[in-house]
Chain A
Amino acid sequence: MALTETRPMQARAWIRRQSRWSVYEVLFWLAALLPFYFMPTYLTLASQVAIAALFALSVDLILGYAGIITLGHAMFFGLGAYCAGLITKAGWGEPLTGLLIAGAFAALVGWIMSFIIVRVRHLALLMITLGLGLLTAELANSMRWLTGGTDGLQGVDVWPIFGRYDFDLWGYTAYAYALVVLFLGVLLARRLVNSSFGLSLRGVRENLNRMPAIGSPYRRHLQTIYTISAGMAGVAGALLTQTTETVSLDTLSFQRSADVVVMLILGGTGRLYGGILGAIIFMVARDQLSDMNPQYWYFWIGILLVVVVLAMPGGILGGLARLVGKRGA
């Protein structure tokens, strides 16, 4: 953290410099279009990577920037997924509004939870997020009349986007849709973290005790970012529902909460693109490794995780950034 500047003009210039688009970012988004032309048979995978990336981004906002460690964020992913599914079952299959409603619902639940979340730190936080996640999953399991229980929600029917683009077998619509939403999510996240609000979050992460001392209402900040993050996770869940037309208890599972943390650690936390890169690596590796050996592919993910954590403490993106000799790609 090179936050040595003290004068306001310099601080503002620093923020502006941080929020400038780097050439790597532009290249990344151009590369994201490649699957349409070169890998059309991988589009369904690409759409699920984009969804996982959005989910990872939402966790990065609280874990990487605000230092809220969580093992239960799948709760919001799943709430968004079920909400989007239930809306279509109620007879409203329009995807864009469905996405917004699902995101708003997850954000609302996130806001309520945030009152508990900001009161605890460290291990207790881990336990509370884990517990809330497991409780939600069990609640969905026992509310079979609403969620369909272990069989998953049946009869999800999503209308074509703008009434024109149907979700096809190849996944063109699904990937385009997921990619656009991911891009919007990144725009929002960039705006958030490269602002005084974002800086105060990093302050909370670095030293909680000093924040009230310099007059920063850290609890309110944490609540805000937690709510936004929950909403974003909900949108990711809703995307999954809409692009696959299925919802199951799996969206709420501990496994999903844990996987997203693995993605973040692989890619690098607190870097926006770390979660995205982690999601790409995790999902592509999973796809390729499980093709080679469907039984034991997780072994290689484990090896990869150990190597990354030992050799590149800042994640793969952190390692790359060090190679390039520049902080934050």
Chain B
Amino acid sequence: MKNRVVTWTLAASALGVGFGWAASAYAADTVKIGLIMAYSGPFADTANQMQAGIDLWLAEHNGEVAGKKVELIKKDTGGPSPDVAKRLAQELVVRDGVDIIAGFTLTPEALGAADVATQAKKFMVVMNAATSVVTEKSPYIARTSLTIPQVNYAFGKWAVEKGGVKQAYTLVADYGPGHDAESSFAKGFKEAGGTVVGADASPVANPDFSAFVQRIKDANPEAVYIFIPGGAQPPAIGKALAERGLTPPKTKLFGQGELTLPEALESMGDTAKGIVTTFHYTMERDDPLNNAFVKAYRDANKNRSPDLFSIGGYDGMHLIDAALKKTNGDTDGDKLIEAAKGMAWDSPRGPVSIDPETRDIIQTVWIREVKEVDGKLQNVVIDSIPNVKDPLHGAAK
């Protein structure tokens, strides 16, 4: 210990850069949770939202899980880099001595850290990272977010069975999540008897949608399924579709929740009316638990609304708390993951549980339609599909 401080002092002065370094005392009545997320870089906002969800849960519970004080150790990956995530996980285990590893806004981060969780036998809670395969990478992983196939496969079936659509055209962003969304929606859609009349992929960054939309118009489908990243793209595609008359009710528009997040709805305006989306969390859903969550979140975050990352973090903390209570505060990885299996609770998003076999979340998929409520556009829940499992687990092998 002394040597380390001395060496560090020497190193720091030699480099001409001073760093503060303090070891925190280890106490048995605290639980150390290491958070690995992309706090900086282009994905920083998702990490902020997740952190706010975690902080809100802690604030509501006196900063304690299972009666023990929580110490959060935050580590920044800066982006989708599994090598950095793996190193950070190793450091969290060997240097900081954490009991639980959590966070993971991006899939590569979770995949990088998974090996460490296995080697060190640490409970690992994935609070976003939505690629199906993540939970299969380590027997110590449980996930509290969603998988893209989970919400889209069920949605594809719903579109035929209840949405009354027989043929659809798909347009997705040309990257991993986009392809996952396209394949799972198309799978559900075809299994229920629908036909996909065309599939297209647009660039992830700064696409010009006019050519893509023109191709959709030429194909003249009954419905269009869209998956694009949130931010500036939803309004852009909304506008492009409206310009060519491809709007509901003439042409049905389907998508995953990002398409109609509140910010997107604001800039899309009336062209958004009638868009049907699928998601695991609907902020506007009228439910006492959800209303309280949304209100508390807005109060704590300068009126910013919670999103899927916030709810992932919030429920992740709940899972850690509940699992620890079940083990009577024992932080042993094997015991915690056993405790987490089959755990069920009521979340602001609806009833959820952890699948005992895949350690992935089972939850209600909400089908929402954009409608005008009190002069404001909102996602109104029009249907729900309860207890949806990820359809890919086991199927990939």
Contact = CB atoms under 8 A, between A and B. Distances in A.
Given A245-B115, A281-B17, A38 B4 contact: yes
B80 A249 contact: yes
Contacts of B116: 169
B40 A297 contact: yes
Interface stretch (A148-156, A205-213, A214-222): A148-156
Interface stretch (A10-18, A91-99, A283-291): A283-291
Contacts of B108: 150-152, 246, 248, 250
A232 interface: no
A288 B19 contact: yes
Given A44-B90, A151-B176, A169-B90, A255 B20 contact: no
Given A154-B133, A304-B17, A246 B82 contact: yes
Question: Most chain-A CB neighbours within 10 Å: which of B37, B91, B116, B119?
Answer: B91
Contacts, number: 129
B133 A244 contact: no
Interface stretch (B58-66, B71-79, B238-246): B71-79
Interface string B353-389: 0000000000000000000000000000000000000
Nearest to A255: B79
Interface in A289-317: 289-292, 294-298, 304, 316
Contacts of A142: 174
B40 A152 contact: no
Nearest to B129: A151
B79 A151 contact: no
Interface residues of A, number: 47
A200 interface: no
Interface in A194-244: 240, 244
Contact of A150 (B3, B80, B87, B90): B80
A42 B94 CA distance: 9
A29 interface: no
Chain A interface, >50% SS class: helix
Contacts of B346: none
B40 A290 contact: yes
Interface string B170-192: 00001111010000000000000
Contact of B21 (A253, A288, A294, A298): A288
Given A42-B95, A169-B93, A297 B86 contact: no
B76 A170 contact: no
A70 interface: no
Interface residues of B, number: 49
A298 B41 CA distance: 9
Contact of A169 (B39, B41, B79, B94): B94
A150 B176 contact: yes
B94 A41 contact: yes
Given A295-B39, A316-B16, A141 B175 contact: yes
Interface string A34-59: 10001111101100100000000000
Given A171-B90, A316-B16, A294 B175 contact: no
Contacts of A322: none
A280 interface: yes
Nearest to A320: B16
A72 B268 CA distance: 38
A152 B111 contact: yes
A154 B90 contact: no
A247 B21 CA distance: 31
5 contacts: A45-B87, A150-B80, A150-B107, A169-B93, A248-B82
Interface of B: 3-4, 7-8, 11, 15-17, 19-21, 37, 39-41, 44, 48, 74-76, 78-84, 86-87, 90-91, 93-95, 107-108, 111-112, 115-116, 119-120, 131, 133, 174-177, 179
